[in-house]
């Protein structure tokens, strides 16, 4: 896979993939926690093979990007998407989101509905009714959260745990994911982000139904963090035009756990987009 590029954005280093012709329709892929742009390692070549330009940043503090020099809260990550897309002069784009990438990217999409050409949404939630999973509750708890992320900085233990959760994952993907835990400053990014989320920040952002373009929803059947209930709620409450596909016998990290099962849906999504444009 082609190496990541870097740019200076707001005086901080941002690492990102940008693969495909600069004249091709752009696809912005936003990862979640604790991930990096390497979440899309297997997906990007499939998108570019269909004639699209795939752009996947390491969100600030994740992967190889610098963290914000200020609080890593939800609003600042949404602002980052605006700054990043402005820096690359992306006017209209296809949006692919996963986990926190969905909470960030879909909030951004609410304010930029005219820019969204299509959406692929997986294992995320921007509808009321979700309750935090046990690990998130720990991260959101002062003092306890600090102890938990510090314990996760034990690389050997973390790698062992993740390989149990995602048995088929590539080593280089996990190496990139682990970077968030290497330093105290970046570990705090997780805590700041989770602690900035509240119901008041979700409920005003129910304007996603204004997006009428093609939408695909993908979900791991056995996701332990966000159940498949929210795949259907996302469709029923926000995107009635969406197709929902549940990936059998998979957990949360479907793109790296079962790429061979996910890729046909990704390709079908973009082939449909091309057909609709004819």
Q: What is the DSSP letter of 40?
A: G
Shortest CA distance to 100 belongs to which of 215, 196, 244? 196
- Using a 10 angstrom Cβ sphere, with 0-12 exposed, 13-18 middle and 19 or more buried, the burial of residue 212 is exposed
With both helix axes pointing from N to C terminus, report the angle between 74-87 and 100-111 in degrees, rounded to the nearest 10.
Answer: 70
Tens-digit pLDDT profile for residues 15-74: 999 999 999 999 999 999 999 999 999 999 999 999 999 999 999 999 999 999 999 999
Q: What does the block give as tokens for 145?
A: 């959260």
Q: What is the pLDDT of residues 140-156, one digit of tens each?
A: 999 999 999 999 999 99
Distances (CA, A) of 102 to 32, 46, 81, 124, 184: 8, 21, 12, 6, 25
Domain 5-130+200-276, architecture per CATH: 3-Layer(aba) Sandwich (3.40)
- Break the chain into its structural domains and give their ranges: 5-130+200-276
What is the model's pLDDT at position 278?
74
Residues above pLDDT 70, as percent of the chain: 97
Could you tell me whether strands 12-19 and 26-30 are parallel, antiparallel, or unpaired per DSSP bridges?
A: unpaired
DSSP class per residue in 71-111: ---HHHHHHHHHHHHHHTT--SEEEEEETHHHHHHHHHHHH
Going by pLDDT thresholds of 50, 70 and 90, the confidence category of residue 131 is confident
268: its two tokens: 């079908």
Q: Burial level of 243, CB count in 10 A (0-12/13-18/19+)?
A: middle
Percent of the chain at pLDDT > 90 equals 87
pLDDT confidence bin for 183, thresholds 50/70/90: very high
């Amino acid at each position: 896979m082609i190496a990541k590029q870097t740019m200076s954005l707001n005086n901080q280093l941002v690492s990102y993939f940008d693969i495909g012709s600069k004249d091709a329709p752009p696809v912005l892929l936003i990862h979640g926690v604790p991930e990096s742009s390497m979440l899309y390692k297997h997906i990007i070549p499939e998108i570019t093979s269909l004639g699209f330009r795939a752009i996947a940043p390491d969100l600030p503090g994740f992967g190889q990007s610098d963290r914000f020099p200020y609080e890593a809260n939800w609003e600042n990550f949404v602002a980052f998407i605006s700054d990043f897309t402005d820096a690359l002069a992306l006017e209209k784009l296809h949006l692919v989101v996963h986990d926190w990438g969905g909470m960030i990217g879909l909030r951004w999409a609410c304010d930029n509905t005219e820019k969204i050409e299509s959406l692929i949404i997986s294992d995320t939630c921007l509808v009321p009714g979700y309750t935090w999973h046990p690990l998130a509750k720990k991260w959101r708890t002062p003092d306890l959260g600090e102890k938990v992320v510090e314990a996760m900085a034990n690389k050997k233990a973390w790698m062992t745990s993740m390989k149990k959760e995602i048995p088929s994952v590539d080593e280089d993907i996990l190496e990139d994911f682990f970077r968030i835990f290497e330093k105290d400053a970046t570990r705090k990014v997780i805590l700041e982000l989770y602690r900035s989320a509240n119901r008041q920040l979700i409920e005003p952002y129910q304007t996603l139904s204004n997006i009428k373009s093609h939408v695909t929803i993908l979900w791991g059947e056995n996701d332990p963090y966000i159940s498949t209930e929210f795949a259907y709620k996302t469709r029923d409450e926000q995107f009635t035009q969406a197709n929902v596909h549940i990936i059998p016998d998979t957990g949360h990290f479907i793109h790296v756990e079962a790429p061979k099962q996910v890729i046909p849906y990704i390709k079908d999504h973009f082939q449909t987009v091309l057909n609709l444009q004819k």
